[in-house]
Structure 1
Amino acid sequence: MAPPRREVKRSGSIVPCFLFVELGILGGTAALAYQLEFTDAFPVHDGGFFCRDPAYGRPYPGPPGSSRAPPALVYGLVTTVPVLTIVVGELLGRLGGARGGRDPTILWGECCYLGAPLRRLLRFLGVFSFGLLATAIFANAGQVVTGAPAPHFLAVCRPNYSALGCAPRAGDAPPHFVPPGGAPCNGDPPSVAAARRAFPCKEAALGAYAGAYAGLYVTLAWRGGGSRLAKPAAVLGFAAPPFLLGALRVAEHRNHWGDVLAGFLTGTGIAAFLVTCVVGNFQSGGGSGRGGQGGTPKGPPRAAAPPAPSGGDQRHPGASSRPPRRHLNVLSPGGTPKTGGSPKLGGIPKVEGGHTRILYGGPDGALIEPFIKPLQSH
């Protein structure tokens, strides 16, 4: 049996909307993320620090490129792994005939057909890209606003304690606080500014977002087949690298545990919001469900009610289809009704003198137009 042909709808606004609205929003988000990351358009907040604070007195771990998880590796993985996961999943679903649901094919102009699988893939990848940039914006904005120092801040700042009045503590005296402003640090200014951007951890936020997005895609869109452990194994595989990345950031004295946890919450929250509220749990717009095989499970179809007979009583759906009995009402000359049984149609009941009025019941329960039959007088 040949598969049913997919519905084709014309749309003259889908391509302009994609080019001027969707790409415009994505470009503006990328520009804002670039300004927060690589320029001084938004200066980092200077909140001061305490002299010889042990929370910020860890040794300097070196530049970011010397880490065991350098930024280039982190940014490459959080970008390529979810994209490859979505592309492979959509291709496999397309080959299996389980993608697109009942979404129609969009015809733009007279030449361009945009099928449901292609629009589904572009939608998932576009939303992922937007969320990745939004996560970077949230993390960078939090770092710029709070200006929380990293664990190795004092090693990079190299303050002159004598000039700042940071005398050694005597007994239980509180540590001396160095207020913001001035030039308390003698270290490299770019390194000092980078050491003030620890909360939340941007690497942890990006890793959590990518892992959560890919894990939710596998859980909600992939078909497990006959294996019950394929999906859990894949989801744990996506969740493990962000956790290890956060632990590595703490072990190398680049972030505190609070910074890493805040990054995890930021990335996971953005991924959950986009998946549930924007892409509809990776389901097709036409109502297709998990794996493209229908959304909410439906029960067995109800048996169709037998059609009511044309001549039956329509007031009671469960009434019998047997034709109603015909009743004979006889009115004597005195007006007293007499009811007979079910005489044969056309039979003349026995009456005494005068005129007799006979009413016959029709097959639909209505009364046939009565007639008056005169009787011959004997």
Structure 2
Amino acid sequence: MEKMTDLKSRKKFYKNLTVELVIMAGTVMLAYYFEYTDTFNVHVQGFFCYETAYTKPYLGPEDTSAIPPALLYAVVTGVPTLLITVTETVLFLIQYTSKDLDSREKTIVNGDCCYLNPLVRRTFRFLGVYMFGLFTTDIFVNAGQVVTGNLAPYFLIVCKPNYTALGCQQALRYISHQEACTGNEEDILHARKTFPSKEAALSVYAAVYMAMYITFTVKAKGTRLAKPVMSLGLMCLAFLTGINRVAEYRNHWSDVIAGFIIGVAIATFLVVCVVHNFKGKQLLNEDPPEDHLSSNPMVSSPRVESPLEKYIASQNHITFAEIT
């Protein structure tokens, strides 16, 4: 009977793992098709002759920006990975060394079948959810850009329309066909994909996720001021990224605001509904009574703590939560 239960637990564990991997792979593939292929055609939005909203200066390709895409992608992937890994390691070591536990209590059971180090489990869980949200944000942004085809503030500079051939000399006309442009096709295509702003969405997503991670996870004394400073610093960097997009005439204000909304919404949803504010049952529990452990080591009786004990524990220990 025990073997049958263990077999069912293993099957359930591997089934859930397979589903999660398939979802993650599908998300990555969809982001790839949006980003690097022409599978989804961009909507061709029209414009009026000499429309001033699209005649801002063109400051060059994205690589010449003050915040180039390579730098942005490196920051939103590298910094959270490093911060989560270091934080989880430090918190685990602090609690690990503060308790006299045997090797059995320093591992957790996953699906009643597979023993995993709690540090590995938490780190991969939080990083996996973060990366999933990063690709999801990219998909939402690319979908919005493809559907709307919103024009960049410098669109007419790279479009280079022939106003004489288009008949703009006699009257103010609305041009809606793609052949109206005579400029570089790659620049024109990029100038049709600005709403919402990808840079604003990715930067604010990373900032909100990490700010909530720092706020909910670190419970040590002396961090009452450090946590809001770090969180507000991350939010400030994301806000400056959006400001830079407008200052360089690469996005409209509406593009940046829409990107901020998407990034904040996805980060908040994942933190609240998926990882439950990074909280759960305590990872390393207190040692059970010796006589009870010898009789039944896998079952522990519930213990009721007084309000005073709870208060003292909250002041003297760093809570290292486990996702259930």
The equivalent of 2:318 in structure 1 is: none
Give the letter for the 2:175 counterpart. Answer: V
Structure having the higher Rg: 1
The equivalent of 1:161 in structure 2 is: 163
Give the number of equivalent residue pairs.
279
TM-score between the two structures when normalised by the length of structure 1: 0.68
Alignment pair present for 1:248 and 2:244: yes
CA shift for structure 1 position 97 = 1.1
Distance 2:110 2:265 in 1: 36
Secondary structure of the residue aligned to 1:106 is strand
Alignment pair present for 1:299 and 2:307: yes
Pick from 28, 47, 57 the counterpart of residue 59 of structure 1: 57
Worse-superposed segment, 221-230 or 10-19? 10-19
The CA deviation string for residues 133-175 of structure 1, in whole angstroms up to 9 with x for no partner, is 0000000000000000000000010000111111276xxxxx4
On the 8 A contact 1:150/1:254 being kept in 2, the answer is yes
Matches within 5 A, 1:216-227: 216-227=212-223
Distance 2:246 2:306 in 1: 49
CA shift for structure 1 position 12 = 1.1
Q: Which runs of 5+ in 1 are unaligned?
A: 1-8, 170-174, 302-378
Is the alpha carbon distance of 1:263 and 1:162 closer, same or farther for their aligned partners in structure 2, counting shifts above 3 Å? same
Pick from 40, 49, 58 the counterpart of residue 42 of structure 1: 40
Distance 2:55 2:226 in 1: 45
Distance 1:227 1:278 in 2: 25
Is the alpha carbon distance of 1:166 and 1:55 closer, same or farther for their aligned partners in structure 2, counting shifts above 3 Å? same
On the 8 A contact 2:43/2:149 being kept in 1, the answer is yes
Pick from 172, 177, 194 the counterpart of residue 174 of structure 2: 177
Secondary structure of the residue aligned to 1:198 is coil
On the 8 A contact 1:224/1:231 being kept in 2, the answer is no
Is the alpha carbon distance of 1:292 and 1:72 closer, same or farther for their aligned partners in structure 2, counting shifts above 3 Å? farther
Distance 1:46 1:104 in 2: 56
Distance 2:85 2:27 in 1: 23
Matches within 5 A, 1:301-316: none
CA shift for structure 1 position 115 = 2.8
Distance 2:10 2:149 in 1: 48
Alignment pair present for 1:106 and 2:109: yes
The CA deviation string for residues 315-354 of structure 1, in whole angstroms up to 9 with x for no partner, is xxxxxxxxxxxxxxxxxxxxxxxxxxxxxxxxxxxxxxxx
**Higher RCO (C-alpha under 8 Å, 6+ residues apart):** 2
Give the letter for the 1:106 counterpart. Answer: V
Matches within 5 A, 1:285-364: 287-288=281-282, 299-300=307-308
Q: Alpha carbon RMSD of aligned pairs, Å?
A: 2.9
CA shift for structure 1 position 104 = 7.0
Distance 1:40 1:202 in 2: 18
Distance 2:125 2:26 in 1: 18
The equivalent of 2:315 in structure 1 is: none
Identity, % of aligned pairs? 47
Secondary structure of the residue aligned to 2:238 is helix
Is the alpha carbon distance of 1:57 and 1:20 closer, same or farther for their aligned partners in structure 2, counting shifts above 3 Å? same
Q: Which runs of 5+ in 2 are unaligned?
A: 98-104, 287-304, 310-324
Pick from 235, 241, 244 the counterpart of residue 239 of structure 1: 235
On the 8 A contact 2:107/2:116 being kept in 1, the answer is no
On the 8 A contact 1:213/1:275 being kept in 2, the answer is yes
Greater helix fraction, Structure 1 or Structure 2: 2
CA shift for structure 1 position 13 = 3.5
On the 8 A contact 1:158/1:185 being kept in 2, the answer is yes
The equivalent of 1:86 in structure 2 is: 84
CA shift for structure 1 position 89 = 1.2
